Amino acid sequence: MFGSKDGVNYYEVLEVPPDAVPAEIQRAYQRAKATYSQDNPALYSMFSREEARDLLKLVDEAYSVLGNNQLRRAYDESLQKNGAQPFAQRSTVSADHQALPDFVVPDPSIPGSIEMAAAQIHSPPPSTPVVIPTAPVSTPAPPPSEFGPRETVIVTTSEFTVRKREAPPTLKQGMAKCPMGTYPVDGAMEQEIAAKDEFDGPFLKKIRTYKQVPLEKLSESSRIGKTYLIALESNDFKNLPAPVFLRGFLVQIARQLGLDENKVVTSYMKLAKKS
């Protein structure tokens, strides 16, 4: 429906402006979800079932990015890099960022602040443009245009450049990443995890130690008590909470360890039910 996949703009999919606040995105998502579900009469004679399903998938995909502050920021950056959406410059969104006024009120006690504020008012972008060179990439540099060298990116928000300068930690050879950190890759172990359909406590523990995540750290990030984690990893079912809570715990653990949530939850819950 939307032509080539790379032509899709998630903001257009959810029909929100690029500077929409999270609440707007949430609402737009709910509305889009209701619109493109199968039995909505509004689709009648316009979109077929398959097309509606594709649109729904696209809506979910868009929300999974725009609904997450970190991913959304990264997405905005990629939009800016492609230069396709100049308006995305306004939308480097984080809650603290949005609260900032566009113009700084000059403070006479700071020398130069008035001139700076004046400069801000006279130049169209809200704050002084900072020109930063992009990281060297292997693609050949585009020919310089008459508008100046193309391999520089102008970012108008100083806060934004701070974030950009923190170059993402490059992974060393033979290392892999999971949400909890990096760990050395072991091919056999990776294969075993990928092939496994039944996840029980000891195996989850094995994965955790393999991925070098200490119990304390997992407990902290998943907000699950250590005693529960220990019980869960040792298949000590009678010391585990009610199924509804256990399910939530498993989802959290699977996410933190970068595992398939569905597989982990279904297999472990089956196991817990049997006992």
Partner 1 sequence: MNTIWAIGGGKGGIGKSFISSSLAICLTRMGKSVTLIDLDLGSGNLHTCLGIKIPNQTLSDFVSGRTHSLADVTTATEIPGLNFISGFNDALNIADLNRDAKNRLIHGLRSLPTPYVILDLGAGTSENTLDFFLAADQKVVAVTPEPTSIENAYRFMKASYYRKLREAESELGIQSLIEAAMDSRNNLGIKSPADLVRYIHQTNPEAGLRLSNKISDFSIQLLLNQVRTRQDIELGHSMKSVCKKYFGIEASYLGYIDHDNAVWQSLRKRRPMVIEYPYSSIVGQFLQISKNLLNPAALRAVI
Candidates 5, 38, 41, 197: give the one binding partner 1 (CB under 8 A): 41
Q: How far is the CB of 85 from partner 1 (least distance, A)?
A: 15
Per-residue CA distances from 82 to 18, 69, 76, 174 (Å): 15, 20, 10, 31
CB nearer to partner 1: pick between 14 and 229 = 14
Residue 34 C-beta: closest distance to partner 1, Å: 6
| Window of 20-28, 200-208, 230-238, 255-263 that interacts with partner 1 by CB under 8 A | 20-28
**272 lines the binding site for partner 1 (CB under 8 A):** no
Burial class (CB in 10 A: 0-12, 13-18, 19+), 61: middle
Contact stretch for partner 1 (CB under 8 A) within 40-48, 123-131, 140-148, 257-265: 40-48
Member of 6, 38, 42, 135 binding partner 1 (CB under 8 A):
42
Instruction: Please tell me the total number of residues recorded for the chain in this structure.
Output: 275
C-alpha–C-alpha distance, residues 271 and 105, integer Å: 62
Contact with partner 1 (CB under 8 A) among 10, 18, 28, 201: 28
Q: Are the C-beta atoms of 248 and 255 separated by less than 8 Å? A: no
In angstroms, the CA 119 to CA 124 distance is 10
Name the residue nearer to partner 1 (CB basis): 46 or 188.
46
* Interacting residue with partner 1 among 11, 32, 193, 268 (CB under 8 A): 32
Read off the tokens for 24: 């707007």
Q: Does 27 bind partner 1 (CB under 8 A)?
A: yes
Residue 188 identity? A
The one among 19, 22, 47, 248 contacting partner 1 by CB under 8 A = 47
Beta bridge partners of 175: 184
44 binds partner 1 (CB under 8 A): yes
| DSSP labels, 13-69 | HHT--TT--HHHHHHHHHHHHHHTSTT-GGGTTTS-HHHHHHHHHHHHHHHHHHTSH
Residue 199 to residues 44, 164, 185, 260, 264: CA-CA distances in angstroms? 44, 39, 20, 10, 6
Beta-strand runs (E) in the chain = 130-133, 152-155, 175-178, 181-184
Among residues 44 and 147, whose Cβ is nearest to partner 1?
Answer: 44
Contact 18, 11 (CB under 8 A): yes
Q: 37 or 78, CB closer to partner 1?
A: 37
Using the contact rule CB under 8 A, the part of the chain among 43-51, 110-118, 201-209, 250-258 near partner 1 is 43-51
Q: Under rule CB under 8 A, which residues in 53-112 are in contact with partner 1?
A: 55
Closer to partner 1 by Cβ: residue 49 or 274: 49
> Is residue 49 near partner 1 by the rule CB under 8 A?
no
Q: Please enumerate in sequence order all residues whose Cβ is within 8 A of that of 243, keeping only pairs 6 or more positions apart, or say none.
A: 269, 272, 273
Stretch touching partner 1 by CB under 8 A, among 25-33, 133-141, 213-221, 230-238? 25-33
Per CB under 8 A, residues contacting partner 1 are: 1, 3, 7, 15-16, 20, 24, 27-28, 31-32, 34-35, 40-47, 51, 55
